[in-house]
A and B are shown apart, each in its own frame.
Chain A
Amino acid sequence: MLFDSSEEGAEGGGPNIPCLGWIPGTVRRFPETVRVPQIGWNLLSFTHEHPLTHGVPPENSYTYFVNSYFADPANPDDVIATANYAGDFTAMVAHENIAAAQFHAEKSGELGLRILSNFAMEPTMTGTSGLASSRSPHETAHCLLRREERVG
C-alpha cells in the first residue's frame, strides 16, 4: 500500500492497482515456481544501516513471514534488508521518514520486539526523544501492540 502500485488485486493481466505512492516502486507477486504464500521463518540479510535495526544481530537474524507479494523499490538505497524466496526480495524498506517490514515483527520473537521498540523509541526514527525511554523494549512493544488493537 505504501508503494506506487501493486499487482495485488490486479490478477488476470489487468493494470496494477494504484497505491499511496509514499515509497517509489511496485509490489509484485511471488512467481508460480514457489509455494504461495510464503509461510515461515526466513533469514535476513542487511544491506543498509538504519535505526530500525539497531541492536539486531547482523548474522543469523530470522523473522517470520506470511506473504504472497513483495515490494520492489525503485531506489535500491531504500532497501534495509532482504530475504530469499524465489530470489532475493525486500524484507525491510525505508524512504525518508517512512519505514516498513514485510515480515511480522509481532510474531518474530525478541528480534521482532526489538524492531518494534526501535520504531517507537529511536530518536532518529521519531524525530523527538521517542516514547518514555524508561520502558524496556518488551514493554514498549506491548504498548504498541495494545495501541494497534485499539485502533483495530
Chain B
Amino acid sequence: MTKAQQFQDNIDVAPADELAARLYKDQIDEIVFYDIMASAERQQIDLDTVGAVAQHVFVPFTVGGGIRNLDDMYLVLKAGAEKISIDSMAVRNPHIIRHGAEAFGRQCVVLSTK
C-alpha cells in the first residue's frame, strides 16, 4: 500500500493485507486494489498479495492493474477478487470489456478511469 501525490513519489505505508484487514475491521464497505507496478512495468499482477487481501476481507473486493487478457482476469478472480477493474487496457483494446463480461459475467467487470 502506497501513498502518492499526482501518482508520483510513492511512499510505502503498510503491507496491503494488513491494511486491508484493518479497514475491514473498521467496517469499510468495499475495497478496490490496484497493482500500480503491474500496469506501469507490464508485469504480471501480484497474485500473492491479492490472495492475502482476500483472506482478510469479507466485503466486495475489486482488483485492477496490469490486466491484459481473459487469462489475467481468470487468475485474479481465482486469487479471490470479486470484480476486475480494467483501465489502460480498455483504451488499447475496448473489446476486452465485453469479452470479460461474456466469460465471467457482467457483474464482475468494471471500467475505471483516472
Give chain B's interface residue range (CB within 8 Å of chain A).
10 to 19
Please tell me which one of the listed residues B27, B58, B60, B106 contacts residue A113 in the complex, with CB atoms under 8 A apart: B58
Please tell me which one of the listed residues B27, B59, B106 contacts residue A64 in the complex, with CB atoms under 8 A apart: B59
Which chain A residues border B27 with CB–CB below 8 Å?
A: 109-110
With known contacts A41-B29, A107-B82, A109-B27, A64–B107 Cβ distance under 8 A: no
Residues of B21-55 whose CB lies within 8 A of A? 24, 27, 29
Please tell me which one of the listed residues A39, A66, A109 contacts residue B58 in the complex, with CB atoms under 8 A apart: A109
Which chain A residues border B29 with CB–CB below 8 Å?
A: 41, 109
Does chain B have a CB within 8 A of A37?
yes
Q: Are B60 and A107 in contact (CB under 8 A)?
A: yes
Please tell me which one of the listed residues B24, B59, B60, B106 contacts residue A37 in the complex, with CB atoms under 8 A apart: B106
Q: Are A106 and B58 in contact (CB under 8 A)?
A: yes
In this complex, the member of B27, B58, B59, B61 whose beta carbon has the largest number of chain A beta carbons within 10 angstroms is B58
Q: How many angstroms from the CA of A106 to the CA of B61 in the assembled complex?
A: 11
**B75 vs chain A, min Cβ distance (A):** 15
User: Interface residue count for A (Cβ, 8 Å)?
Assistant: 13
Closest A residue, CB atoms, query B82: A107
In this complex, the member of A108, A109, A113 whose beta carbon has the largest number of chain B beta carbons within 10 angstroms is A109
Does chain B have a CB within 8 A of A73?
no
Q: Are A112 and B106 in contact (CB under 8 A)?
A: no
Q: How many angstroms from the CA of A146 to the CA of B106 in the assembled complex?
A: 26
Q: Are B59 and A66 in contact (CB under 8 A)?
A: no
With known contacts A41-B29, A107-B82, A112–B58 Cβ distance under 8 A: yes
Q: Are B107 and A37 in contact (CB under 8 A)?
A: yes
Residues of A128-145 whose CB lies within 8 A of B? 141
Closest A residue, CB atoms, query B108: A66
**B26 vs chain A, min Cβ distance (A):** 11
Please tell me which one of the listed residues B24, B61, B107 contacts residue A66 in the complex, with CB atoms under 8 A apart: B107
The 8 A CB mask of A53-67 against B (1 = contact, 0 = none) is 000000000001010
Provide a sorted-by-A list of 19 A–B residue pairs whose CB atoms are within 8 angstroms: A37-B106, A41-B29, A64-B59, A64-B60, A66-B107, A107-B58, A107-B59, A107-B60, A107-B61, A107-B82, A108-B58, A108-B59, A109-B24, A109-B27, A109-B29, A109-B58, A109-B59, A110-B27, A110-B58
Return the 9 tightest CB-CB contacts between A and B, nearest first: A66-B107, A37-B107, A107-B60, A109-B59, A39-B107, A109-B58, A107-B59, A113-B58, A64-B60
Which residues of B come within 8 Å of A, CB atoms? Answer: 24, 27, 29, 58-61, 82, 106-107
